[in-house]
A and B are shown apart, each in its own frame.
Chain A
C-alpha cells in the first residue's frame, strides 16, 4: 500500500491504454497463407505464432481434419488440417508446411496450412462479401473476399472455421 505501489498502479493503467492502441493497429491486418494454390487470409488478432510442422500425436474418435495434438512448450494444442476441413485432397507434409497457432474464444488451435505467405493490410473498403453461388465445402467459413491489387485473398472466419459443425456430420446423423 506504499506510495510507490500506487504510482505503479497508475502506470499499469497507462499500459492498458497502450495495449488498446496496439489492438487498434491490428485492425484490417491479415496473415495470408496458401492452400492448394489459393491464397487465404485470417485476421491477425487471432494469430499467436507460426511454427513448423512437428510430430502430431493422433487422438482417436476425432473428425478426419483433427489430426491430433502437439506439444507447444508444455501446452497441449489440438491441430486441424485446413485442407481436410475444406475437403481438399490431403497432401504429405513437407518443409514448407506450417502450423498457425490461433486463439478464438480463449481456445488455442493449430491450423496446418501448405505455406505461410505474409501479413497484409486489407482495408474494409477492399473486402467484398463472399460469393453467393456454389456453396462448396469450404464456403461457409469465408467471411469475405479481399482485393489486393489484382489478386484476391479468401478471408476466413476463424470462429466458424473452428466451431461450425461440418455438413457431413449432419448428413451422417
Chain B
C-alpha cells in the first residue's frame, strides 16, 4: 500500500517539478522586464508585477499542495514582497530584483533534489537565509510605504497572518483565492495583454484534460463511494483548474472551480456522503468549466449569471456541511435541495444531454496538443531510421538485380516518398522554438552587465524559430560563452564608446533564422571588433601557429579564437579569459555537424554565425569504395568528382601530391594510404578524385570508385572504440553491411597536421 502512495506522490511531485520549471522559466524574463521598466520609466509596470505575483502565487499553491514546506515558505515571502510592490507602487531597486532572482535560482536548484527524494528537506538553512532577507526587505519596504501612506493597520492585518508558513494549506489557499479575486476582475482586462495565445491554448487544453479526469474520477466515485481516493483525485484536478484559472485571471472559472473544490474537499475527507444531488451539481460545474475554457479560447465571455447561479448552488451544498446546525441552513438548503429533488430527473437528463453535448464539444475542440514523453519521440526517430534502412534493403535487394520490374519500381518509388514524409514528420515532432533558450540569455546579460559595469542591452529576433531538441540541448552553452565574450572583450566601456562616437549603451543582438536547410543563430555586437594583430600575437605565444602569421587569411585568423587555450584577455577575469569557453562553442557546434562563421569589422562590431543543419540523424550520402572497404561521404561536402591526367599532378618534395583543377591547386588525400587498405588502383589517373570541402578548405580524396548516392541513418561508432581519425560515425547500408562515414573536416585537419 505504501508503495502505491509513494508512486502516486512521485507522480504528483514530478508533475509539480515539471510545471514549476516552466513557471520559473516564465518568471525570469518577467523579472528582467520589470527591472527594465522600472529603470527606464522610473516606475514599475503594474501588469508585469501582477504576472510575477501570480506566477509565484501558483508556485506556492502547488508546492503547498504536494507538501513542500521549504518552497512554500520561500515563495510565500516573495509573494508578500511583490504584493506590497504592486499595492504601494513602490519603485524597485536593483537589490530587490537581485533578491527575486536569487529566490528564483534557489527554487530551481532544489527542484532537482525534490525530483529525486520527493521532498525538499535539507535546504532549510539556505531557505531561511532567503526568507530572512525577504522579510527584511518586506519590513524595509512596508516601513517606507507605511510612512508614506500611513496605513500600518492595514499592513499588519495583511502581513501577520501571511507570515506564518502555510501550515493550514487549505485555509491559506482559500484565503488567497478570495483575496486577489476582486483585483483579478479589475485587472483581467489588462492581463489579457500579457497572456500569449499559446499560453491560452495550453490553458484550454489542460483544463480540458483536467475536466476529463475529474469527471472520470467522480463517476467512479459515485459507483464506489467508499473509495475516498477517487474523490481526492477529482479534488486535485479541480484544484489545478482553479490554480490555472486564477493565474490567467478567469474569475468566473476560478469561482466555480473553487466552489466545486470545497464540496470535493469534504467528500474526500468523508465528512460528506455523496448523493445524486451533489454529484450532478459538481458534474455540471465541470461541464461549465469545460465550456468556459473553450469560450475563453474563442475569445468569448463567460456568462456571469450562469456563474452566479452555479456558484450559489455549489456553495449552498458545501454550506450545508459547514453550517453546524441543519436548521440554520435549512431554508437555503431546502431551496436548493427541493429544486434539486424536483429537478433531479430533469437534472439527470440534463447531465446526460450535457454528456452528449460534451462529446460534440470535445470533437469540436479537437485536442490540439498532447504531451509526449521525449523518449517515445527518440524511439520513433530510431524506428524511422531502421525503416529507411529496411526500405533501401528491399529496393536494392540483390535478388532483384537485372530484372525488369516496372510495377515494382513504381511501388518502391511510392514507398520511398512515404518514407521521406514520415521521416520529415518524425523530425518535425521534435522541433521546439528557441524562445526559452534565448530568454535565458536576458538574465545572463543583465547579471554580466552589472558585473562588468557596462550598460548593455540585448536584442532578440526570430525566437520563434524551431529547431530539433538536440540542438536546443547543445546550443545553450555556446550561446552563454559567445555572449559572455562579446560583453567582456567585444563591447567597450560606456566611456570608451562615447569617446568613439558610438551610442553609450552597447548592444548584443541574438537572432535565429532558417536558411536553406540550416538554422542560423547569429550573435552580433557593436563593439570594437576582433583585433588581427592581437590574435596573431597571442596565437604565436601559445604556439598555436608557426611563423609570424602574416600570410594567414583573415578568416583563418578569426578561427583561432576557437582554439583550445586561446585567450587574448590581458587578465583572466572571473567571467572569461581562460580560453576554455570558445573551444566549447566549436566542439558543441561540431557535434551538431554545424559550423561557425565569423564576420568582424574594426570598431564596428563582430558577428558570429552558428550554422547548424536542420536534420541530424539522416543525411544524403555518397558511398565510395577503396579496395574492399566502403565509406560514406556526406553529399553536402562533395563538390565534384573527376578523373585526372598525370600532367595535372605535381609531387612536392615532402611527398604531398597536388592536383591542378582549373587553376586551383588542391592537395590529394589517398584514402588507401591513410587507412592502410589494399586498393584497386594506386595511380591517381586510374582511380577517381573527389573534391570535398569543409569550412572553405578544399582537398581531393583519392578513391577507387563511386558506388552510389543514398539516404543513410547516422549511427555513432561504439564508445568502446573512442574517436576514430577522420570518421564521424557509421551507417548500416541496404545490404546490412556497415559503412564508416567520413568526417571531411577532421580528415582535412589531420592531413594538415601531418604536412604542417
Contacts and interface: CB of A to CB of B under 8 A. Distances in A.
Interface string B710-737: 0000011111110011110010100011
Nearest to B723: A61
A69 B674 contact: no
B736 to A, nearest CB: 6
Q: For the side of the interface on A, what is the size category? A: 20 to 34
B556 interface: no
B391 to A, nearest CB: 14
Interface stretch (B4-12, B595-603, B633-641): B4-12
B739 interface: yes
B189 interface: no
Contact of B724 (A1, A59, A162): A59
B3 interface: yes
B239 to A, nearest CB: 15
Given A1-B8, A9-B3, A57-B730, A107 B719 contact: yes
Contacts of A66: 721
Interface stretch (A34-42, A71-79, A113-121, A126-134): A71-79
9 nearest interchain CB pairs? A57-B738, A60-B675, A78-B718, A78-B720, A71-B738, A6-B4, A61-B725, A107-B720, A71-B732
Contacts of B220: 2
Provide the main secondary structure of the chain B interface.
mixed
Given A1-B11, A76-B715, A69 B724 contact: no
A2 B213 CA distance: 10
A110 to B, nearest CB: 10
Nearest to B739: A57
B736 A58 contact: no
Given A69-B738, A76-B730, A107-B718, 13 more contacts: A1-B233, A9-B3, A55-B737, A57-B730, A59-B727, A60-B675, A60-B676, A61-B725, A66-B721, A69-B721, A71-B732, A76-B738, A109-B718
B718 A108 contact: yes
A93 interface: no
Interface in B1-46: 3-4, 7-8, 11
Contacts of A108: 718
Interface string A1-31: 1100010011001000000000000000000
Nearest to A80: B720
A108 B716 CA distance: 13
B10 to A, nearest CB: 11
Contacts, number: 71
Contacts of A76: 715-718, 730, 732, 738
Contacts of A58: 629
B389 interface: yes
Interface of B: 3-4, 7-8, 11, 213, 220, 233, 386, 389, 629, 674-676, 715-721, 724-727, 730, 732, 736-740
Nearest to A107: B720
Nearest to B729: A76
Given A10-B4, A57-B738, A78 B721 contact: yes
Interface string A80-123: 00000000000000000000000000011100000000000000
Contacts of A61: 724-725
A168 to B, nearest CB: 17
19 contacts: A1-B11, A10-B4, A55-B736, A57-B739, A59-B721, A60-B674, A61-B725, A62-B724, A69-B721, A71-B732, A71-B736, A74-B386, A74-B732, A76-B717, A76-B732, A76-B738, A77-B718, A107-B719, A107-B720
